[in-house]
Structure 1
Amino acid sequence: MSIVNTTAIVDGTLWSLVAFSVATWTLILVKGIQHLRLGGQNRRYLRLFWSAKDFQAAADLGNGESATGPAARLANAGFGALRAAVSTHDLEHSGDRQELLERHLRQQIHKERRSLESGLAVLASIGSTAPFVGLFGTVWGIMHALTDISRTGSASLYVVAGPIGEALVATGIAAAVPAVLAYNFFSRRLKLVWADLDDFAADFINLAQRATFRIERPAAVRNDAVVSISKEVFA
């Protein structure tokens, strides 16, 4: 194989590793912002939820700016299931109310987990494949050096320094290490978030049980209904 082709192979490997590195740091930035945002959102909503005077008041928090984040969506899924159990009579909402609530909470937790897991498979793939891609470039770089030695009949530093330098740069470690560290970090964060959501779901079920698994429609809807009835009465 010619020297030009060997150099092209090493260069292609290096550019592949650069692409891996860019993807890794982009995902690190995106996932970092995601976890910072959801952490703040959960803290704000849980502070409002636990400061509510009762379970009905917590249900009336609605979907405002403060009711955002995984914990808020989990609570809204629970409140929605309880409202549907009263007003809707179909196969989806049939059965025991506690079982219905548990099923909707569990489904929402799975949705949140899938959202948080997005991108982790890419980090795992880069962390596991980058060293092998780099090894491929390293082997070709060494072959380049050996080809130069056989062609010139000299093993001087001038002949082997360039190819060996390319081979060392193309190891893939610079792309693999951040990917592996980021994957481990965000996997740990995901487990903590999931555990917090599980704990909140258990507390939510206990509160719902004390309220006999019944909540009224949102306050805004009730007020609109009262106004509508009043208009009909005095029309």
Structure 2
Amino acid sequence: MTDINTLIHDATIWLLIAFSIVTWLLIVVKAIQTQKAGKQSKQFVDKFWQAKNIPEAIKSAELAEGPTARIAQVGFKTLLDANEKTHQDLQQSWSRQDLLERHLRKQILTERRTLEKGSAILASVGNNAPFIGLFGTVFGIIHALQAIAQSGNASMDVVAGPIGEALIATGIGIAVAVPAVLAYNYFVRKIKGIGADLDDFATDFVSLNQKTGFQVTNPQATVSVGENRVEKSTKSEAKDKEVFA
């Protein structure tokens, strides 16, 4: 029975060490992820609103990365697909707005879920690590009391050592829980801030397209039309030269 108590106590400590490693790995990964997402979004928003027209904004969205850029990509794709599926008149502008807002909301939720991955693990570790440590301490104390009973000596020198070793599990549990809780609270606030920025951009994006009746033109189509015009003008000039020759 004594061996089982020792085994449980030691296994609890190793489990807490594993939780600590996972926690710090998540902290590093989430810190890089949120910092990168915030930086990419800020750079894209600044570049997006510097565009001179909608086609240029579409090109900037296609070349950019980050949560805000993906929201813009989804929004423009929704409106471009609507050009092929609905009539190009103002009667469809409100249905286009509903379609656009629905797709933007879905993409915002997708981005938030991506940013929130791993947060549940931090919350679970922060909530349960102290109790896991206390669980190991209980079996450590049982082992210590049994050892004291077998020795027949209950002096302070004999009791303090085994009891102190048993309490190590509780201390490790608290040491694992504190960083996890602090990191969870920090990333929750960080993700809420990024989510608020995404909501603001989506609102501004809808207002921008509302000015054009939710009608957008594919920049590639514009380029192809321009090339056709240049090609036609070149052919006409060649024919004129042949006639005059």
TM-score by length of 1: 0.89
How many Å apart are 1:46 and its aligned residue?
0.6
1:75 aligns with 2:72: yes
Which letter maps to 1:134? G
Partner of 2:84: 87
Whether the 8 Å CA contact 1:17–1:175 is kept in 2: the answer is yes
For residues 1-235 of structure 1, the aligned pairs below 5 Å read 1-2=1-2, 4-64=3-63, 67-88=64-85, 96-171=95-170, 172-218=173-219, 220-224=220-224, 226-227=226-227
Distance 1:128 1:170 in 2: 15
Which letter maps to 2:43? R
Which letter maps to 2:75? G
Q: Secondary structure at the match of 2:215?
A: coil
Distance 1:160 1:29 in 2: 41
Distance 1:58 1:12 in 2: 57
Q: Secondary structure at the match of 2:213?
A: coil
Greater shift in the superposed pair: 51-60 or 202-211: 51-60
Greater shift in the superposed pair: 171-180 or 161-170: 161-170
How many Å apart are 1:228 and its aligned residue?
6.5
Identical columns (%):
51
Whether the 8 Å CA contact 2:144–2:166 is kept in 1: the answer is no
Whether the 8 Å CA contact 1:14–1:137 is kept in 2: the answer is yes
Distance 2:132 2:232 in 1: 75
Distance 1:123 1:213 in 2: 42
Partner of 2:239: none
Distance 2:169 2:228 in 1: 73
TM-score by length of 2: 0.85
How many Å apart are 1:94 and its aligned residue?
11
Q: Any idea what the Cα deviations from partners look like across 1:60-93, whole Å, max 9, x if unmatched?
A: 21422xx11011011111111111110135xxx9
Which letter maps to 1:75? A
How many Å apart are 1:52 and its aligned residue?
1.0
The 1:217/1:149 distance shift into structure 2, 3 A limit, reads same
How many Å apart are 1:224 and its aligned residue?
4.0
Distance 1:58 1:149 in 2: 77
Which letter maps to 1:71? T
Distance 1:46 1:107 in 2: 20
Q: Any idea what the Cα deviations from partners look like across 1:130-171, whole Å, max 9, x if unmatched?
A: 111111011111112211211111124553344323322101
Distance 2:203 2:151 in 1: 74
Whether the 8 Å CA contact 1:85–1:94 is kept in 2: the answer is no
Distance 2:231 2:52 in 1: 31
**Structure 1 unmatched runs, 5+:** none
Q: Secondary structure at the match of 1:51?
A: coil
Q: Any idea what the Cα deviations from partners look like across 1:178-209, whole Å, max 9, x if unmatched?
A: 11111111111111111111111111111010
Whether the 8 Å CA contact 1:145–1:159 is kept in 2: the answer is no
Computed over aligned residues only, the root mean square deviation of the Cα atoms, in angstroms, reads: 2.2
Distance 2:195 2:204 in 1: 14
Q: Secondary structure at the match of 2:83?
A: helix
Q: Secondary structure at the match of 1:215?
A: coil
Whether the 8 Å CA contact 1:116–1:190 is kept in 2: the answer is yes
Whether the 8 Å CA contact 1:55–1:207 is kept in 2: the answer is no
Q: Any idea what the Cα deviations from partners look like across 1:88-131, whole Å, max 9, x if unmatched?
A: 35xxx998000011001001001001101100111111111111
Which letter maps to 1:203? D
How many Å apart are 1:37 and its aligned residue?
0.6
Partner of 2:89: none
